[in-house]
Structure 1
Amino acid sequence: MGKRLVIESLEVRTDTRSVTYVFRTGVNAVTGPVGSGKSSMLELLKYSLGGSAKVMPAVRDNVQSVKVKFRAGDEHWEFTRALRSHVVQVFDLKTQESLGEWAATNRQNSRKVGPALLDALGLPPDWRIPKSRKNPTDETVPVSFWDVHKYLYLDQNSIDASVIGHKDANLNNKRIAVFELIYGLANARTVELLTERGKRRAEASALRKSAEAVSAFLQDMGDPDPAELTARKAGLLIELGRSKDALNEARNAAQSGLVSAETLNALGSKRAHLEDLLAQRDALQVAVAEAKSVTAQLNLEEQRIKRSSGASRSLSGLEFVQCPRCLQGLPYGRFDDGHCHLCGQAQEPDANDNAADSLLKVLREQRRETKDLADADEATLEGVSAQIELAEQAVLSQLRAASNSDEPRALPYIGSLEQAVAQVAVTEAAIQRIDDVEKRWATHDGLHKEADNLDVIARGMAKEESRIKLGLREDTPLLAGLSELFDEILRGLRDPWFNKAHVDTTDYLPIVDGEPFDMLAVGGGRKTIVNLAYHVANLYMSLSERTDMLLPTLLIVDSPRKNVGEGALDRAVVESIYSRLRTLQDASRDDFQMIFADNDMPTEASKWVSQHISLDYDNPFVPGVVHRGEQEPNDPKTAEEID
C-alpha cells in the first residue's frame, strides 16, 4: 500500500484575520456557490506544500500567508509559506523543533521541499529521466514531487481536458515515468538503462559530427575520396617500383663505369638531405593550411557571438509580461531581484555582455596565437624552400664534380643516376602525401565505426530494458487489475453510453469503447466522469494490501460534477459518484484521504462524509473579504499563477 499523505489543517492569514480549516481521514467535502473560494482552497493546499498555485484576485490581494499541518509517511510537519515567497518555514511536529527554511524552488545551498517529500513517501528523491522517451539523448530532466502530485490532484481545469498532463509532451514523458514507478513496471535498472542509452546515442551523434567536420576539411583542401586515393596510390606504387628498378640499373651502370664508392656515398648523402627537406616542406604546407582553416572558423565564431550579443543587447531592455512559449501573463515579482524575470536564474548586471566580451577575448587570443603559429610556419617554410634550392644545387654540383674528376669518365652514367634518384624521390613524396590523406580518412571512418559501435550498445541496452520491463509486467499484474477496476467503477456510474473500458498497456491512458480520452465527447460530462473514474481507480489500487503500490493514498478532486446536467439521468450519475465514495469511506476511512470540492452534494452525503466544509458569500474562503456574490467573476483567465 502506498504511504499515507494526510492533510490535517490549512490556516489562511490576511493582514487582519486568520481562519483554520480542518481535514480528516476519509472523504472531506468542500461545498459552496460559484466564487466562494473552493478552488482557491485546493490551490493554496498545493501552494502551502511548496508548489505553484492559480489564485484569484481575492486571494492575491488579501492573503498574507498559509500554514498547513500534514503527515507524509512517518513524518509530521507544519509548513508555513508567505504568498510569493520561494521558501517554506518547516516545523517538526513530532520533535517540536524548527527545521528552518526549505526552498520551494531550485535555490542552491538550501534543502528543497520536493526531494524531502519524495523521500518521506518512499519515492526516489533524486530521480532523472531522459528528456525524450522515444529518442533519448544524454539530456535528462528531473522527476519531482509535483509530477507525482499530478496523480493526487484532479483540478477543475484538467478534469474534462487532460489525464495527468498527457497532452503536454514534457509532462507526458514524466507521467509515464511516474506510472511505471508506482506500478512496479520499471525499476532503478530500467531507468539507468534508459539514461545510459541516451548518453550512448548522444556520444554517437557527437562522433558523427566530428567525422563530418573531418570530411568537410578534406573537401575544403581538395583532397580526393578514399576510392580515388586507392587508385592513385596503386599507380604510384607501380611507378615507384619502376623508378627503383631504374635507380638500381643506374647505380650498377655507374659502378661499372668506375664511379668510385666515395662519390656515390657523397651523392646519396646529399640526396637524402634533399629528401628530408622536401618532407619538411610538405608537413609545413599542411600545417599552414590547417592554421588558415582554424582562423577562418574562429572568424565565423566571432561573427556569430557578435550577432548573438547584439540580439541579447536588443532584448535586454525588454520587460516581458507574457511567456513567449504559452502566451500566459507573467506575474510581477515572481522571482527575487537579481534573477532573470523569465527563467528565475541568478544573473549579474550585464552578464550576457560580459560573457560575450570574455568569449570574444578568448577567441581573439586563439586567433592571434593561431596566426603567430602560421606566420612562424610560413617563415620556416621559406627557409626550408631556400635550403631545398641549395640542396638541389649541391646534388648537381656533386654530379658535375664527379664528371670532371680524374676518375674514369662516367658522365654517360651520371645523368641517368641523377634522373633515377629524382624520380624515386618525387614518387615517394607523392605516396607520402596520399598516406597522410588516407590517415585523415581513416580517422573519419574510425569515428563512424565508433559511433556505430555505440549504436549497437544502445540497442543492446534497449533490448535489456524491454526484457526487464516484460519480466516486471509478468510478475506484477497491477496494470490488469487497474483496467478491471477502472471498468468496474465506470460501469457503476450508470452512464448509458458506456459498454467497455480499459487502461492502455503502452501509454497507460483510459480507453472507453475503443476510443482514447481525447476522442470522447465533452457534453454530458463524459470526459469528467472517465477522468474521475481513472483517478479513483488509482486510489483504490494504492489502497490494496496485496500490492506494492508506491502512490500516496490521497486524492484531491475539484468539481467532480463538472458538465453533468440536472436531468433525472444526470442526477442518477451524481448519486452513483457519491455512492462509490461512500463505499470507499466505509471500507478504508483511516487508510486514505479524499478532498473534493463541489457546488453542493446530495443531502444524504452530508451524513456520512468525514468532514464537511461549507462556504458561502457571507463566509467565503478568504476571511474578512467582502464578496460580491454571483457578480464576482469566475473566469479562469482572471487567475494568476504564483510559485
Structure 2
Amino acid sequence: MGATVRLHQLAIKTRTDQAVFPFSDQVTVVTGSIGVGKSSLLELLKFGLGATSAKLMPAVEQNVTSVEIQVTLGSRRYTLIREVGKNNVDVVDHSTGELIGPWSATNKKYMPKASQELLAALGLPADLRIPRKRSKPTSETVGVSFFDLYKYIYLGQNDIDTQVVGHTNSHLDLKRRAVFELVYGLNSPELIDLAILKGKWTDRAAQLKSRAEAIKDFLAQAEEPELEQLESLEQETRRALEEATSLLDSVRTESDAVLEAQRGTRQRVSQLRGQLSELIAVRDATAADVRKSESLMAQLRLDQQALQRADVAHRALSGLEFSSCPRCLQDVRDRDVPSGHCLLCTQPEEVYSEFDSGELKRLAAQIGETQSLMEEDEGSLEDQQVKVRQVEEDLAELTMELERAASAMISPQLEEVQTLAMEIARFEAQLEKIESSAARWSNYQSSVDAASDAEEEAMRVAQQEAALQDDLSSNQSRIDDLSIVFNEIVGALQLPWYSSAEIDKDTYLPIVNGAKFDDLSVGGARKTIVNLAYHLANLQYGLTHPDTLYPTLLIVDSPRKNIGQTAEDSIVGEKVYEYIMHLRAEFEGSFQMIIADNSVPAGTPEGYAELHFTYDAPLVPGVSHPGEGVETV
C-alpha cells in the first residue's frame, strides 16, 4: 500500500451555523444539482489542508468563517483548522489533543510551512528541491511541495478534460515528473541531492572557465608576454639588476676612497671656517665699540659747544640794561617785575659762577679720554681686518683645491652613480610589471585548475549518481506494469473507440490508440475518461505495490464531464462507477475516493456513501440558495 492519506470529515462554520460532512465510507459521492456546492466542498478540503490555490466561491468567502478537517497522514491523525481569509493553519494531534502549532500556508519567517510539514508526514523530505532543468541540471532548483503531490490526489473539474496533473504548464510539468519518479521509486531524494550537487559543481566549473577565458583575453589585448616568456624576461632582468647594483657598489667604494684621501684638506677647511667665524665676530664687536665711541664724541662736542656759546653770550650781555623790547620796541621799564627777574622775559635771573667754567674743563677731559680709547679700538680693528682677510684668502685657496679635485675625480663618478641608479630603478619597475603580469597569469592558471577540480568533483558526483541509478534501474519496469494496469482499466470501460492504451516511458503521460493526451478529441469526453483511467491506474498500482509512495486517496470532480446523454454514453458512465466499486471490493479499506457528480448512475453497486446537496440544503449551512440558474456555490 502507498502513502496513507485519508480524510475523515470536514466541518465548516458560519457566523450563525455549522455543518459536519463525514467521509466514513471508503467511497463517498457528493451529489446534487448544479451550483449547490459540490465543487466548493472539494476546494474547501484543499483549502483546509493549507493550499493557497483553492478556489472559494463568493458564497463561501462571504459566509464561511472557518474550516476544520480531520485527516490521517502516514501513521498520524491530525485536526486542521483554518479561518477563511487567513494563511495560518492550527494543527492538533487528534489522538492526544496536543497543539502541534500553527503552520503557514505561505512563506512566513519562524513558522513551519504547511506544504512542507505535510510532505514530511508522508515520509518525504520536507524541504524537497529539484533541479530546474531535467537535462544537464545546474545549481538552479525549484521547490516541490505537498500540493504538487496533491495534483495526483485531486482531479479537478477544470483539469479533468484539459491536462494531466498540470502537464500543460512547463513549470508544473517539471514537478509532475519529479513527483511521479519519487512515488514510483524511479528517483530518490538522495539522487536529487546528487543531481543538484553535480549541477553546482558543473556551474562552478563553467564560471571558472569563463573567468579564465576573460583573463586570457585581457592579457592578449594588453599584449602581455606568455608565461614562459615572462619567466625568461624575469631572469634576464634580475641578472641585469644584480650587475647594475654590483657596479654601483664598486663606484661608491671608489668615491669613498677619494673622499678619504682628501679628509685632511676638508678638516683644514672646516677649521678655517670656524676660525673665520670667530674673527668676524670679534671684528664686528670692535667695530661696534668704535661706532659707540664716535657717537659719544659727537655728543660731547655738541655739549662743549653749547656751554661755550652760553658763556660768550653771558659775558657780552651781562652789563646791558634794556629800556624797550628789542623785538617790538615797547617800553619795559614800567612793568611790574619782581626783584631778581629779567625785565624782558620775567624769569629769575641766574647767577653766573665759576662752575660753568669747570664744566667746560670736564667735557674737554672726557673728550680727550674718549678720543684715546677710540683710537685704540680703531688700531685693534685694523689688526682684526688683516687677520680676517688672511683667513679668507687661505680658505678660498683650500676650497678651490677641493673643487679642482672634485671636478677631476668625483664628478665623473657621481654621474656614473646617477646613471646606474636610474638603470636600477628601471629594472626594478620592469620587475614589478613582470610580477604583475605573472600574478594575472597565476590568477588565470588558478581559475583553470579550480575549473578542472570542479569538473572532477562533478564527475565524482556523477559516478555516485550512476551507482544509485543502477540500484533503482530495476524500478523502470514499473512503468510497463503501470501501462498494463492502465490498458486493463481503459478496456474495462468498454469504450467503442478504444484499441490500446499505455504510459509513455519518458513523459509518464497516457497514450491511447497511439495518440498523446493532447491529441485526443476536441470535445473533451475522451480526455475525461483517459484522465480518470490514468488516475485510477496509478491508485490501483500503488495499492498492489506497497513499496511505492502513491497516495491512497483520490478525489475526482465530475468524472462524467462531457460524456454525453446517449445510451452509449450512459454505459460509459456506468462502467466508470462499476470499476470504482470493483476497486472498493478488491481493496476494501485500503484506499479512499471522494467523487463529486450530479448523481450516481442507476445500477451502481451498493457500498458507497452519499452526501446530497439541494437548493434548499446547499453546502453552506444557514444560507439559502436562490435557485437554479443563478449564482452557484
Does TM-score exceed 0.5, indicating one fold? yes
| Aligned partner of residue 591 in structure 1, secondary structure | coil
1:439 equivalent to 2:429? Answer no
Q: Does 1:531 align with 2:545?
A: no
Write the letter of the residue equivalent to 2:176.
Answer: R
**CA deviation after TM superposition for structure 1 residue 540, in Å:** 0.7
The aligned runs of 1:211-360 (5 Å cut-off) are 224-227=222-225, 259=254
The structural deviation recorded for 1:594 is 0.5
Q: Which residue in the other structure is 2:89 paired with? A: 88
Per-residue CA deviations over 1:95-115 (Å, capped at 9, x if unaligned) read: 244545333333333444334
Q: In structure 2, do the counterparts of structure 1 residues 609 and 454 end up closer, same or farther at CA, with 3 Å as the change threshold? A: same
Matched position secondary structure for 1:603: coil
Equivalent residue number for residue 339 of structure 2:
none
Measured in 2, the distance between the counterparts of 1:128 and 1:180 equals 14
Secondary structure (helix, strand or coil) at the match of 1:523 reads coil
C-alpha distance in 2 between matches for 1:110 and 1:246:
73
* Contact 2:28–2:595 under 8 Å retained in 1: yes
Q: CA deviation at 1:39?
A: 0.6
Cα distance, 1:456–1:566 mapped onto 2, change above 3 Å: farther
Partner of 2:388: none
Q: Which residue in the other structure is 2:567 paired with? A: 568
Residues 241 and 428 of structure 2 are in contact (CA less than 8 Å); yes or no, is this contact kept in structure 1? no
Deviation at 1:475, TM superposition (A): 5.0
Q: 1:262 to 1:500 in 2, by over 3 A?
A: farther
Q: 1:629 to 1:196 in 2, by over 3 A?
A: same
- On the 8 A contact 2:185/2:475 being kept in 1, the answer is no
The residue type equivalent to 1:122 in the other structure is: G
Which residue type is aligned with residue 507 of structure 2? D
Separation of aligned partners in 2, 1:64 and 1:51: 16
Task: Find the residue that maps to 1:172 and give its secondary structure.
Answer: helix
Mapped pair 1:12 → 2:12: yes
Between the aligned partners of 1:238 and 1:212, the Cα distance in structure 2 is 29
> Can you list the C-alpha shifts for 1:317-355, whole angstroms capped at 9, x where unaligned?
xxxxxxxxxxxxxxxxxxxxxxxxxxxxxxxxxxxxxxx
Equivalent residue for 1:630? 628
SS at match of 1:148: helix
Check conservation: 1:229, 1:434, Cα contact below 8 A. Answer: no
1:593-615 Cα deviation digits (max 9, x unpaired): 0111112231112x424211222
CA, structure 1 residues 510+263, in 2 after alignment: closer, same or farther (shift >3 Å)?
farther
Residues 201 and 457, structure 2, Cα contact 8 Å, conserved in 1: yes
Report the secondary structure of 2:80's partner residue.
strand
How far, CA to CA, are the matches of 1:247 and 1:115 in structure 2? 73
What letter is aligned with 1:550? L
In the alignment, what sits opposite 1:372? none
Contact 1:201 1:455 in 2 (8 A): yes
Q: CA distance change for structure 1 residues 251 and 45 in 2, over 3 Å: closer, same or farther?
A: closer
Q: Aligned in 2, Cα 1:597/1:243: closer, same or farther, shift over 3 Å?
A: closer
Q: In the TM superposition, what whole-angstrom CA distance separates every residue of 1:511-544 from its partner, at most 9, and x where no partner exists?
A: 3344332333332512222211111111112211
Contact conserved, 1:6 with 1:25, CA < 8 A, in 2? no
Aligned residue in 2 for 1:177: 178
**Structure-1 separation of matches of 2:524 and 2:235:** 85
Asked whether 1:60 is paired with 2:61, we answer: yes
Secondary structure of 1:150 counterpart? helix
Equivalences for residues 460-471 of structure 1 within 5 A: 460-471=460-471
Question: What secondary structure does 1:446 align onto?
Answer: helix
Aligned to 1:306: none
Q: 1:587 deviation in Å? A: 0.6
Shift of the alpha carbon at 1:152?
0.6
RMSD: 3.7
Q: Do the aligned partners of residues 462 and 573 (structure 1) sit closer, same or farther apart at CA in structure 2, a change above 3 Å counting? A: farther
CA, structure 1 residues 440+100, in 2 after alignment: closer, same or farther (shift >3 Å)? closer
- Distance in 2 (alpha carbons) for counterparts of 1:614 and 1:114: 31
C-alpha distance in 1 between matches for 2:159 and 2:495: 21
Cα distance change of structure 1 residues 537 and 262 upon mapping to structure 2, 3 Å threshold: farther
Contact 2:162 2:524 in 1 (8 A): no
Q: Match of 1:552, as an amino acid?
A: P
- Measured against aligned partners, the alpha-carbon deviations of 1:127-176 in whole angstroms (never above 9, x if no partner) come to 23334444544444432221221111111111122221223333223222
Residue type of the partner of 2:154?
Y
Matched residue pairs, number?
A: 492
1:205-225 Cα deviation digits (max 9, x unpaired): 554576578679x67xx9724
Tell me, in whole angstroms, the C-alpha distance in 2 between the residues paired with 1:580 and 1:112.
Answer: 37
- 1:622 is paired with a residue whose SS is coil
Match of 2:616 among 613, 618, 639: 618
Aligned-pair CA distance for 1:250: 9.8
Quick one: distance in 1 between partners of 2:628 and 2:485? 39
Match of 1:119 in 2: 120
Partner of residue 583, structure 1? 582
More off after superposition, 109-118 vs 29-38? 109-118
User: Could you tell me how far apart the structure 1 residues matched to 2:123 and 2:237 are?
Assistant: 76
On the 8 A contact 2:89/2:104 being kept in 1, the answer is yes
Q: CA deviation at 1:45?
A: 1.0
Matches within 5 A, 1:29-108: 29-52=29-52, 53-108=54-109
**How many angstroms apart in 2 are the aligned matches of 1:243 and 1:14?**
94
Partners of 1:538 and 1:81 lie apart in 2 by 30
**Cα separation, 1, equivalents of 2:152 and 2:595:** 14
Distance in 1 between residues matched to 2:140 and 2:193, nearest whole Å: 13
Contact 1:28-1:609 within 8 A present in 2 as well: no
The answer to whether the 8 A contact 1:403-1:411 is kept is no
- 1:614 maps to a residue whose letter is H
Change beyond 3 A, Cα 1:264–1:2: farther
Q: 1:569-618 deviations in whole A, cap 9, x for unaligned?
A: 3223222212211210111121110111112231112x424211222222
C-alpha displacement of 1:442: 2.0
Deviation at 1:243, TM superposition (A): 8.2
Shift of the alpha carbon at 1:405? 5.2
Over 3 Å counting, the alpha-carbon distance change for 1:226 and 1:610 in structure 2 is farther
Paired residues of 2:2 and 2:543 also in contact (CA < 8 A): yes
- Quick one: distance in 1 between partners of 2:96 and 2:245? 98
TM-superposition CA deviations, 1:238-268 (whole Å, max 9, x none): 577678779889999x79xx94785799xxx
- Distance (Å, rounded) in 2 between the aligned partners of 1:553 and 1:48: 19
- Counterpart residue number, 2:191: 190
The 1:116/1:417 distance shift into structure 2, 3 A limit, reads: closer
Give unpaired runs (5+ residues) of structure 2: 261-400
Structure 1 residue 51: Cα displacement: 1.9
For 1:246 and 1:594, how far apart are their aligned partners in 2? 95
5+ residue gaps, structure 1, are 266-400
Distance in 2 between the 1:539 and 1:556 partners? 11
Measure the CA separation in 2 of the matches of 1:404 and 1:171.
98
Corresponding position of 1:393: none
1:565 alignment partner, SS class: coil
SS of match in other structure, 2:622? coil
- Residue 301 (structure 1) aligns with: none
In structure 2, relative to structure 1, the CA distance for the partners of 1:102 and 1:626 (3 Å cut) is same
Deviates more, 1:19-28 or 1:582-591: 19-28
* One-letter amino acid of the counterpart of residue 510, structure 2: P
1:162-173 aligned at under 5 Å gives the runs 162-173=163-174
Structure-2 change in CA distance of 1:491 and 1:263 (3 Å)? farther
Are 1:226 and 1:441, in contact at CA under 8 Å, matched by a contact in 2? no
Q: Distance in 1 between matches of 2:211 and 2:402?
A: 55
Taking the aligned partners of 1:264 and 1:105, their CA distance within structure 2 comes to 90
Name the CA shift for 1:433/1:404 in 2 (closer, same or farther; >3 Å).
farther
Tell me: CA distance 1:453–1:236, structure 2 relative to 1, closer, same or farther (3 Å): closer
Letter of the structure 1 residue corresponding to residue 222 of structure 2: P
CA distance in 2, matches of 1:551, 1:490: 20
Q: What amino acid is aligned across from residue 579 of structure 1 in structure 2? A: E
Contact 1:176 1:507 in 2 (8 A): yes
Determine the C-alpha separation between the residues in 2 that align with 1:96 and 1:456.
Answer: 53
Distance 1:455 1:232, change over 3 A: closer
- Alignment partner of 2:606 out of 605, 608, 612: 608
Q: 1:455 to 1:25 in 2, by over 3 A?
A: farther
Matched-pair contact (CA < 8 Å) for 1:243–1:420:
no
User: Counterparts in 2 of 1:201-212, with a 5 A limit?
Assistant: 201-204=202-205, 207=208
Alignment partners' CA distance in 2, 1:463 and 1:523: 49
Give the aligned residue type for 1:193. Answer: L
Q: Matches of residues 353-392 of structure 1 in structure 2 within 5 Å?
A: none
SS at match of 2:19: strand
For residues 136 and 115 of structure 1, the distance between their equivalents in structure 2, rounded to whole angstroms, comes to 23
